[in-house]
Amino acid sequence: MSEVRELSDAEKTFLEPYLPPRAADGRKEAATHNVREQHGETAETVQTDGGGLPFVTLTYASSLDSMISLAPGIRTTLSGPETKSMTHFLRMHHDAILIGVGTAIPDNPGLNSRYLGATLDSQPRPVVVDPKMRWDVDSSKLAQLAQEGQGKAPWLIHTRHELGEEALRGWGGRRVFLPSEAAPTGQTSESAKCETIAWSTILKTLKRDGVDSVMVEGGATVISTLLSMPELVNTVIVTIAPTWLGQGGVTVSPAPKVQAGERVNAAKLQGTVWRQFGADAVLCGRLQV
């Protein structure tokens, strides 16, 4: 029996205002999205196609000490069965799921939707940001699921061009090569050789290639960075598990923010709603711009 159960109508109603909009033909669509009035909040319009951007959902499961895994490299289960089911429901409602290579290597995730009724067509496209080609995709679960027809073949985002833009071993994946941002002037050390791609470039490229909605699942570096970019993010859905992982874990926390020489809050959610799913709490909101 599948460990993923169907959400109740009340759970679906709770999540619905935070899902990507759908076109009338049922296709997942990014467009000017009217976020409805709910919970006393004023209706507002969130522009999701201005500048050719997809609808972006940030979602992850956190402990009470804001950690998402016990330690780097340790795959850690935080979501209970109810929030796990929610994740699979959310996956089915997005065109793509994006993770960083720091998650792909230790977690070897499936990134498909095991939600009832999910078809290959409704599966999200797995996207892994792996600038330096560190990940061995051929031996991954993503490759296996794609070969078995249980998920779409992944797209990998790189900065290096050693392999050329060929399909991945005939099972339909793609390598997408994007330019990295220039290192700050004068930096020549090894640590300065980061190959960071602008998030607007990554997201616009996905949109150009037909991805209208992206569920960003992690890990800590990716989520923490995007929390500081409210202009790129439409909704945030956080599962809060009733546990503390303890010091030494992997923490989600955006970079500190300074305004007029003073430290201010780094990111804030607005339009927040929360609901209990089993033992976990789920908090939804939008980043304050």
Ligand X SMILES: Nc1nc(O)c(N)c(N[C@@H]2O[C@H](COP(=O)(O)O)[C@@H](O)[C@H]2O)n1
Beta carbons within 8 Å of 70's beta carbon, 6+ residues apart: 76, 245, 246, 248, 249, 250
Cis peptide before 219 (omega within 30 of 0): yes
Tell which one of 17, 100, 126, 218 touches ligand X (CB under 6 A). Answer: 218
Residue 87 contact, options ligand NDP, ligand X, none, Cβ 5-8 Å cut-off depending on partner type? ligand X
Task: Give the x/- contact pattern for ligand X in 98-117, rule: CB under 6 A.
Answer: -x---x---x-xxx------
Residue pair 122/114 in contact (Cβ under 8 Å)? The answer is no
Choose from ligand X, ligand NDP, none: what does 36 bind? Cβ within 5-8 Å by kind: none
* Residues 101-140 close enough to bind ligand NDP by CB under 6 A: 101-103, 106-107, 129, 131-132, 134
Q: Give the Cβ contact number of residue 212 at 10 Å.
A: 23
Q: Which amino acid is at 141?
A: K
| One of 22, 49, 66, 76 touching ligand X (CB under 6 A) | 76
| Number of shown-chain residues binding ligand X (CB under 6 A) | 15
Two structure tokens written together for 154: 């992944």
CB-based burial of residue 149 (10 Å sphere; 0-12 exposed, 13-18 middle, 19+ buried)?
Answer: exposed
Residue 132 binds what, of ligand X, ligand NDP, none (CB under 5 to 8 Å, by partner type)? ligand NDP
One residue of 16, 47, 51, 75 binding ligand NDP per CB under 6 A: 75
49 vs 195, beta carbon nearer ligand NDP? 195
What residues does 99 pair with on adjacent strands? 128, 218
Binding mask 215-254 for ligand NDP (x = CB under 6 A): --xxxxxx---------------------------x----
Residue 217 lies near ligand X (rule: CB under 6 A): yes
What does 145 bind: ligand X, ligand NDP, none (CB cut-off 5 to 8 Å by kind)?
Answer: none
Hey, is 116 helix, strand or coil? coil
Q: Is the Cβ–Cβ distance between 210 and 239 less than 8 Å?
A: no
Dist. CA 94–CA 113, nearest whole Å: 10
Q: Shortest approach of ligand NDP to residue 45 CB, angstroms?
A: 28
Out of 57, 69, 112, 123, the only residue in the binding site for ligand NDP (CB under 6 A) is 69
Name residues contacting ligand X, limited to 41-70 (CB under 6 A).
61
| Interface pattern 134-173 for ligand NDP (x via CB under 6 A) | x---------------------------------------
196 binds ligand NDP (CB under 6 A): yes
Q: Tokens at residue 87, please?
A: 């994740």
3-state SS, 39-81, equals: CCCCCEEECCCCCCCCEEEEEEEECCCCEEECCCCCCCCCCCH
Contacts of 155 (CB under 8 A, 6+ apart): 96, 125, 126, 127, 128, 173, 174, 175, 176, 209
- For ligand X, the binding residues (CB under 6 A) are 61, 76-79, 87, 99, 103, 107, 109-111, 217-218, 239
- For ligand NDP, the binding residues (CB under 6 A) are 60-61, 68-69, 72, 75-76, 78, 99-103, 106-107, 129, 131-132, 134, 195-197, 199, 217-222, 250
